[in-house]
Structure 1
Amino acid sequence: MIAVLSDTHSENGHALAGRAADAVADADEVLHAGDFTTETALDAFHDAADRLHAVHGNADSPAVRDRLPAARTVEVAGVRVALTHRRDGGELGLSMFGRERGADLVVSGHTHAPTTKETEDVVLLNPGSHADPRGNPEAHAELYPSDRGVRGELRARDGRVLSEFRVEGR
């Protein structure tokens, strides 16, 4: 399983609780779309996750920005994932970012709203925020390998499935 998170906004740790904490502990890989805020939070994620792929966000300290790229592309479970905190241009900007990187899935954060959107080229995923929801449910995403890609779930802190989606690999 791959756990997908964003927008931790913590001064003193990973702020994981409930289903998000379980998902990170059980995950083969963890994707984080930025805004850890501090090196302490980033280090706590490195300690909690066996394998962390992360980018920095707009609220990250200079020390976090020095350690993480603004964007990266990784392969997980046969799916090419383009990871960023945000892109100008909204959904169109994110879709173009994914297309430029040959991605099947674009993971972003920033809005704190857990959402998925299927576009012509890619699936857009914002896992929301597991720790600072700003009026949205505390959320994260879980990706499970399937025959031709991954099946995904947006989940609330209490474990409820908020929505389900699929991403096919190329």
Structure 2
Amino acid sequence: MIAIFSDTHSSDGHELEGEALTAAREADTVIHAGDFTSETALEAFQRECDRLFAVHGNADSAAVRDRLPTARVVEAGGARFAATHRRDGGETGLAMFGRSRDADVVVFGHSHRPTVVETEDTVLLNPGSHADPRGNRPGFATLEPATERAGALEGEIREPDGTVLEAFDVRTA
């Protein structure tokens, strides 16, 4: 399983609970699209996740920015993920970011709004914020190999209690 988070915005820790915490602990790969805010939050995530791949966001402290890149590519579950906190140019800018990195999925954050947009080339995925939803529903995402289709992943954006907000598919072949 791949678990995806963003916008923790914490000075105290990871703020994970319920199914979000379970997903972080059990995932083969965890991707975080930035705005941990503090080193304490980043280190708390690192303690919970065996394989954490993160980028920094605009609200991250200088110490977090020194430890994390602004963008990165992660290969997991047969898919290529390009992660960034935000990209100028909205959906078009994110799609171009993904295309330039040959990504199947672009993971981004910043708006705290759980969002899935399927473009011609890639899926744009904002998991929302599990900890600081700012008027949106709290969220995180999980992806697993499709049970009936080779070369695909089945994804869900869920609330921390496990409630499914949206289901989506990713073509990987």
Normalised by the length of structure 1, the TM-score is: 0.98
Equivalent residues in 2 for 1:57-72, closer than 5 Å: 57-72=57-72
**Structure 1 gap ranges (5+):** none
Say whether 1:152 aligns with 2:165. no
Q: Look up the match of 1:33.
A: 33
Q: Look up the match of 2:42.
A: 42
Q: Look up the match of 1:9.
A: 9
Shift of 1:149: 2.6
**Structure 2 gap ranges (5+):** none
Distance in 2 between residues matched to 1:149 and 1:77, nearest whole Å = 9
Shift of 1:25: 1.3
Q: Look up the match of 1:161.
A: 164
**SS of the residue 2:165 aligns to:** strand
Q: Look up the match of 2:53.
A: 53
Distance in 2 between residues matched to 1:74 and 1:39, nearest whole Å = 22
Q: Look up the match of 2:126.
A: 126
Q: Look up the match of 2:100.
A: 100
Normalised by the length of structure 2, the TM-score is: 0.96
Whether the 8 Å contact between 1:77 and 1:149 is mirrored in structure 2 is no
**SS of the residue 1:166 aligns to:** strand
**SS of the residue 2:57 aligns to:** coil
Whether the 8 Å contact between 1:128 and 1:138 is mirrored in structure 2 is yes
Q: Report the residue type matching 1:62 in the other structure.
A: A
Count of residue pairs the alignment pairs up: 170
**SS of the residue 1:58 aligns to:** coil
Q: Report the residue type matching 2:88 in the other structure.
A: D
Distance in 2 between residues matched to 1:94 and 1:40, nearest whole Å = 29
Q: Report the residue type matching 2:163 in the other structure.
A: R
Q: Report the residue type matching 2:81 in the other structure.
A: V
1:20-57 superposed Cα distances (whole Å, 9 cap, x missing partner): 11111111110000000000100001100010000000
Identical-pair percentage: 64
Whether the 8 Å contact between 1:77 and 1:145 is mirrored in structure 2 is yes
1:33-88 superposed Cα distances (whole Å, 9 cap, x missing partner): 00000001000011000100000000000000000000000111110100000000
